[in-house]
C-alpha cells in the first residue's frame, strides 16, 4: 500500500489478466475496509477468464475476478464500531438492496438489484483491499484459517443446497459431481446426519476425494447401474444433462432434487418421473443467511475445508491460479493477495 494505491489483478479481456494499480477504496457508511488475505478460485472465475462471459453476463470492460474471500478489517466507515478493526473476517460477496420484497422476505439472494462481486460490471476480490458492508464481513474465530474463511463461500452454497434438499438425520443423498461443490456438499450432508451419501463422478481420482470427505459410497455413472427411486434427495453439482436425468430417477417418491450445477438455458427432464413421484425440484442461486452457520460449522470442525486446498498463488500469478483451477488434479486453488 503506497500512496493509497493497491495492487489488483484485472481481467483485461478473454484470457488475459494483468496486475495493475488501483486506488484503495474508502469504506462508506456501514462498510468496513478489509485487507484481503485469501480468495478461492471458483469455476465461474475460470469461465469468465476462458470465455469472457457467462450467459448474459459479458466482460466488455476490464473486470477484477474472485468472490470467495477472507481477510482482516483495517478500517471502518461511518456507523460501524471501531472495535471491529483487527477482526478476521469471511466476506459474503453480496450487496442486496435491502428494501425490495425479496430482501424483506429474507431471500436477499434473489434481489433484482443485487450487486455481486466479480459479476460484470462489478469488480471482485483479487485485490489487496476491499470495502464491503459491515454485516457481510463475518467474524471468524482464530481456529478457522484464512483459507477456510475464504471457502465459507462454497460451503454456504453447499449449506443452501442441502437445506433446499431437506437433508437431515438419516437422509440418503446422491450428489452428482465430485468437484469442490460436490465434495463440500457431501461433507455438509454428512454433518447434517445423512446416513447415506453417494457421490457420482466419472473420474476415479475425484471419487477418492469424495470418499475422504463425507461420501459413504461412490458410483461411476459410466459403468454402474442407475439407482431407481431409493434416495431421499439428489443434488446436482455437475451441470451435465445425463447426470441430472440419472439423478432424478434415483429419488424416491416425495423426495427432493436440487440443481446447483449450471447446465444451460434449457434441459430435457424426465417429466413423468417428477410428476408420478411428486418430486420437489428447485435450483440454487447464490445463498442467503448461510454465513453464521458456515462459520459455526468450520469453527466446530464439522467440515474440513483446509484439506481441499491443493494450490496457492500470489496476486501476481492469478493467471496461473486460473489455469491450475481447470486442472482436474487440483481440488481447490487459492489466491493470496496479502502474501
Closer residue to a second copy (CB): 272 or 329: 272
Closer residue to a second copy (CB): 71 or 261: 261
Alpha carbon distance 173, 323 (integer Å): 32
Q: What cell numbers appear for 253 in the block?
A: 417418491
Minimum CB–partner distance for residue 78 and a second copy (Å): 13
Minimum CB–partner distance for residue 138 and a second copy (Å): 11
Is-contact 176 182, C-beta < 8 A?
yes
Alpha carbon distance 96, 111 (integer Å): 6
Minimum CB–partner distance for residue 75 and a second copy (Å): 19
Start-to-end C-alpha separation, the chain: 13
Beta-bridge partners for 131: 33
Minimum CB–partner distance for residue 17 and a second copy (Å): 27
Which residues would be at the binding site for a second copy (CB under 8 A)?
30, 55, 98-110, 112, 133-135, 159, 162-164, 168-170, 188, 191-193, 195-196, 216, 253-254, 259, 262-272, 274-285, 288-289, 292-294, 296-297, 299-300, 302
Pairing of strands 196-200, 68-76: unpaired
Closer residue to a second copy (CB): 53 or 107: 107
Element spanning 322, H or E: helix 318-325
How far apart, in Å, are the Cα atoms of 183 and each of 206, 284, 318, 329?
9, 16, 24, 14
Minimum CB–partner distance for residue 128 and a second copy (Å): 26
Alpha carbon distance 187, 55 (integer Å): 30
Minimum CB–partner distance for residue 18 and a second copy (Å): 31
| CA 35 from centre of chain | 21
Closer residue to a second copy (CB): 286 or 330: 286
Query: Which of 249, 330, 219, 193 is closest to 211 using CA atoms?
Result: 219
Closer residue to a second copy (CB): 108 or 126: 108
Closer residue to a second copy (CB): 2 or 83: 83
Alpha carbon distance 242, 270 (integer Å): 11
Closer residue to a second copy (CB): 259 or 315: 259
Minimum CB–partner distance for residue 133 and a second copy (Å): 7
Amino acid at each position: 500500500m503506497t500512496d493509497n494505491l493497491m495492487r489488483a489483478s484485472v481481467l483485461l479481456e478473454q484470457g488475459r489478466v494483468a496486475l495493475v494499480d488501483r486506488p484503495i477504496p474508502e469504506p462508506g457508511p456501514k462498510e468496513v475496509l478489509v485487507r484481503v488475505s485469501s480468495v478461492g478460485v471458483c469455476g465461474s472465475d475460470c469461465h469468465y477468464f476462458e470465455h469472457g462471459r457467462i450467459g448474459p453476463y459479458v466482460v466488455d470492460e476490464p473486470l477484477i475476478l474472485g468472490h470467495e474471500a477472507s481477510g482482516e478489517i483495517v478500517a471502518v466507515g461511518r456507523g460501524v464500531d471501531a472495535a471491529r478493526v483487527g477482526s478476521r473476517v469471511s466476506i459474503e460477496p453480496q450487496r442486496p438492496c435491502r428494501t425490495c420484497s425479496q430482501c424483506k422476505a429474507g431471500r436477499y439472494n434473489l434481489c433484482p438489484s443485487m450487486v455481486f462481486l466479480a459479476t460484470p460490471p462489478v469488480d471482485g476480490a483479487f485485490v489487496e483491499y476491499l470495502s464491503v458492508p459491515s454485516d457481510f464481513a463475518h467474524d471468524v474465530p482464530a481456529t478457522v484459517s484464512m483459507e477456510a474463511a475464504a471457502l465459507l463461500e462454497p460451503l454456504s452454497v453447499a449449506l443452501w443446497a442441502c437445506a433446499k434438499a431437506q437433508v437431515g438425520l438419516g437422509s440418503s443423498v446422491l450428489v452428482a459431481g465430485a468437484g469442490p461443490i460436490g465434495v463440500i456438499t457431501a461433507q455438509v450432508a454428512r454433518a447434517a446426519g445423512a446416513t447415506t451419501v453417494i457421490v457420482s463422478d466419472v473420474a476415479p481420482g475425484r471419487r477418492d476425494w469424495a470418499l475422504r470427505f463425507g461420501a459413504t459410497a461412490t458410483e461411476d455413472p459410466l459403468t454402474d447401474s442407475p439407482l431407481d427411486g431409493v434416495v431421499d434427495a439428489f443434488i446436482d453439482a455437475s451441470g451435465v444433462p445425463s447426470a441430472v436425468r440419472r439423478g432424478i430417477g434415483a429419488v424416491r417418491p416425495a423426495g427432493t432434487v436440487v440443481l446447483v450445477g449450471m447446465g444451460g438455458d434449457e434441459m430435457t427432464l424426465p417429466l413423468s418421473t417428477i410428476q408420478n413421484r411428486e418430486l420437489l425440484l428447485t435450483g440454487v442461486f447464490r445463498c442467503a443467511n448461510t454465513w453464521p452457520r458456515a462459520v459455526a460449522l468450520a469453527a466446530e470442525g464439522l467440515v474440513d475445508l483446509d484439506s481441499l486446498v491443493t494450490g496457492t498463488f500470489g496476486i501476481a500469478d492469478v493467471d496461473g491460479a486460473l489455469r491450475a483451477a481447470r486442472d482436474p488434479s487440483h481440488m481447490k486453488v487459492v489466491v493470496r493477495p496479502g502474501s
